[in-house]
Amino acid sequence: MRIELVKRPQRSALFSMLSPFIALGLTLVAGAALFLALGKNPGEALYYYFVDPLHETWSLHELAVKAAPLILIAVGLSVCFRSNNWNIGAEGQFIIGAMAGSILPVMFPDFQSWVVLPLMLLLGVAGGAAYASIPAVLKARFNTSEILTSLMLVYVAQLFLDWMVRGPWRNPAGFNFPETRTFHAFATLPEIWPASGRAHWGFIFALLAALVLWFVMTRTLKGFEIRLLGQSPRAGRFAGFSREKMVLFSFLVSGGLAGLAGICEVSGAIGQLRPIISPGYGFTAIIIAFLGRLNPLGIVAAGLVLALTYLGGEAAQISVGLSDKVARVFQGMILFFVLACDTLIHYRIRLVAEPAVRGEGARADV
Amino acid sequence: MFEDILITIATAATPLLLAAIGELVTERSGVLNLGVEGMMIMGAVTGFAVAVTTGSPWLGVLAAILVGAAFSLLFGFLTLTLVTNQVATGLSLTLLGLGLSGMIGESFVGRAGVKLAAIRIPYLSDIPYIGRLIFGQDPLFYVSILLTAGVVWFLFRTRAGLTLRSVGDNHASAHALGIRVITIRYLAVMFGGACAGLAGAYLSLVYVPQWVENMTAGRGWIALALVVFASWRPWRLLVGAYLFGAVSIGQLHTQALGVGIPSQFLSSLPYLATIVVLVLISRNRRLTMMNTPASLGQPFVPDR
């Protein structure tokens, strides 16, 4: 048996709709097998993972809390990936954005006014964008691999945050815990619906960002430029678009959104800086960008699904005794299946019996 | 003292060299596998688990090699058979590896490890200054040096090596000559996976005989950077790995001396050094163009 790919004359509209769903289905099957191997009842485990968190109002709020940073980062990354720029350091840009935004409440706690919060958000965006500009400039100017530089900067950002919260920014009244002072009321991102749960305005920002970027990508010249330079750099050059400027643009957009996600997370969900402020949101967002087929609206849906794996991980740990590490296995599997299923968009897959003479032998077209 | 420092540098450099030499062969065949970190951590966790369960570090090493190769097959199937994007697939291999290793290793956190004992050649290892450095190290150190020499010989002195390089430089021509491009790439990817698994086992069986989640700490990515730094030449890779080993040991010693520089700044030095080195290498466009395998990262579907 051999697998043979036959190029489709044009991309299949059917499979570009279906492939994320096939991928999710395959992930569920693989997940069930995994739970079985771990000696758990797969039906019960999957229920706690994907259904139980949706039952109560407060947990729907938690879903929005988790989805907000994921969607914000992932829609930014879609601009990068569409234009063939591989920013995989969003985790670092998230951290630097969070730190830049925290300057006001941590260093000037007595400056209390309604302007604090908007300034914090702006600083967060600026911090993330500035940090993302490092790999972008190095790529545009020296042709340095942005994959490796942006990733290295994640470790640097994590160490920098660690130093700040243990050193200069440690809460003077915090019993030596590695934490900053807690943010005052003017520096806290308000909740959308305070009566029913914790979901904060970060989720609204995420939806807005997705809408704006969807409009830019599908309805404007800039969107055309992004897609053209990604698909065919040569054609892009003939159209008069600059590759270097696009590198910078895509990194600034994604870095800025990652920075916004960072400051929303600390001012909305955590309320202070700690040595670790993200359970890998910047990396999970890469999965979301692909599961959403690099389409900002698709990414909103994909972000909710992946946020569910975080919540489900916690629920399954409490109720079925499954390790919370399983959630990350799920996330990794989703990306694998998404990439594999995307092959169906461009190719038909044929199974050919091995001693194959062309045109003969058993085959099954998919 | 001097010899001790050199030996610790070798211990820090060996896992980088092992992972990077495998990736070098993979990239020479035209495939960019960004999953090194994931394959490495899978090697580390299985190596540790098998060694602790059976009591034999050598069985651990063997298991790590096999798991590294098997894990890389997943990447191979997607990128070579299903022609998915190599960058995205490599990333997903890393993410999956980090998640899976955390799950597998959960029950091994805090368990005492089994250390792969150092070889000590009698008399020779007593030579002052260099005796232990050359004749008294752990077996995988020698494996890493021999492997480098072996790869040099294979790539530049054998027909198979020439074939592999031709596949990496121009897969269409190689295919037209009747070379089985996909088969060769599968083998190269598996070699890279086996080496990354071995590098992981080095971390959990020699470097710190323990299992700690995320213990590779970006070494897989540094190995990827080393391949670029070495401009795809094995001997330069050896030099690069030892330079990086020196940087990371240097910062550890500086931390121990307590020179008033925050430890976090020193810990970030290897990562910053990687960036600086990458910039220095890639700014010379002519040099990189000349050395990069021309088909690196390009998808290939054989026509029929």
Distance from CA of B123 to the nearest CA of A (A): 44
Distance CA B165, CA B296 (A): 11
Distance CA B196, CA B20 (A): 8
B225 touches chain A (CB under 8 A): yes
| Interface contacts (A, B; CB < 8 Å) | 135
Asked if the structure places residue B269 within a domain, the reply is yes
pLDDT value of residue B2:
75
State the CATH number of the domain containing residue B30. Answer: 1.10.3470
A231-to-A129, A153, B237 alpha-carbon distances in Å = 25, 27, 34
Distance CA A21, CA B169 (A): 37
- Note the pLDDT tens digit of each residue in A279-291: 999 999 999 999 9
pLDDT value of residue A48:
86
pLDDT value of residue B304:
62
Tell me if the domain spanning A67-311 has CATH number 2.60.40: no
Is a pLDDT exceeding 60 seen at residue A100? yes
Contact A335 B96 (CB under 8 A): yes
Asked if the structure places residue B253 within a domain, the reply is yes
- Note the pLDDT tens digit of each residue in B270-296: 999 999 999 998 888 777 777 889 999
Report chain A residues whose CB lies below 8 A from the CB of B74.
336
pLDDT value of residue A357:
46
Structure tokens at A60: 């729907």
Interface probe for A, chosen from B41, B268, B284, B303 (most Cβ of A below 10 Å), is B268
ipTM of model: 0.91
Q: What is the mean pLDDT of residues A92-102?
A: 97
pLDDT value of residue A359:
43
Distance CA A226, CA A232 (A): 10
Distance CA A64, CA A74 (A): 15
- Note the pLDDT tens digit of each residue in A323-337: 878 888 988 999 999
A347 touches chain B (CB under 8 A): yes
Asked if the structure places residue B301 within a domain, the reply is no
**Residue numbers of the domain that contains B73:** 2-291
Distance CA B194, CA B188 (A): 10
The DSSP secondary-structure symbol of A200 reads: B
Is a pLDDT exceeding 90 seen at residue A39? no
Q: Would you put residue B109 in left (φ > 0), alpha (ψ -120 to 50) or beta?
A: beta
Is a pLDDT exceeding 60 seen at residue A90? yes
A336-to-A87, A332, B186, B196, B296 alpha-carbon distances in Å = 19, 7, 18, 20, 21
pLDDT value of residue A58:
86
pLDDT value of residue A81:
95
Distance CA A42, CA A29 (A): 9
Average pLDDT, 10 consecutive residues per value, chain B (304 residues)? 83 95 96 96 96 94 97 95 92 94 90 83 78 80 96 96 95 92 96 97 92 92 93 94 91 80 89 92 81 88 76
Is a pLDDT exceeding 50 seen at residue A40? yes
B218 touches chain A (CB under 8 A): yes
The domain locations on chain A are 67-311
Pairing of strands A2-7, A363-365: unpaired
Report chain A residues whose CB lies below 8 A from the CB of B290.
none
Asked if the structure places residue B298 within a domain, the reply is no
Which backbone phi and psi does A134 adopt, to 5 degrees? Answer: -60, -60
Q: What is the mean pLDDT of residues A268-277?
A: 94
Contact A149 B95 (CB under 8 A): no
Contact A325 B279 (CB under 8 A): no
A137 touches chain B (CB under 8 A): no
Nearest to A336 among B96, B106, B283 (CB): B96
Coil, strand or helix: which one is A349?
strand
- Note the pLDDT tens digit of each residue in B17-70: 999 999 999 999 999 999 999 999 999 999 999 999 999 999 999 999 999 999
Q: Kindly report which listed range (A182-186, A251-255, B110-114, B278-282) carries the lowest average pLDDT score.
A: B110-114
Half-sphere exposure of A118 (CA within 13 A, CB side): 3
- Residue A354: pLDDT band (50, 70, 90) is low
Asked if the structure places residue B266 within a domain, the reply is yes
- Amino acid sitting at position B285: R
- Amino acid sitting at position A106: V
- Residue A355: pLDDT band (50, 70, 90) is low
Coil, strand or helix: which one is A343?
helix
Mean residue pLDDT across chain A:
90
pLDDT value of residue A17:
86
Interface probe for B, chosen from A156, A291, A293, A366 (most Cβ of B below 10 Å), is A156
**Nearest Cα to Cα of residue B225 among B156, B272, B168:** B272
Report chain A residues whose CB lies below 8 A from the CB of B275.
138, 144, 148-149, 152-153
Residues 6+ away with beta carbon under 8 Å from A240: none
Q: Per the structure, how many domains does chain B have?
A: 1
Report chain A residues whose CB lies below 8 A from the CB of B285.
143
Distance from CA of A125 to the nearest CA of B (A): 23
Coil, strand or helix: which one is A181?
coil
Distance from CA of B248 to the nearest CA of A (A): 14
Q: By the 8 A CB rule, do B96 and B232 touch?
A: no
- Note the pLDDT tens digit of each residue in A57-89: 888 999 999 999 999 999 999 999 999 999 999
Q: By the 8 A CB rule, do A78 and A253 touch?
A: no
Report chain A residues whose CB lies below 8 A from the CB of B82.
3, 5, 339-340, 343, 349
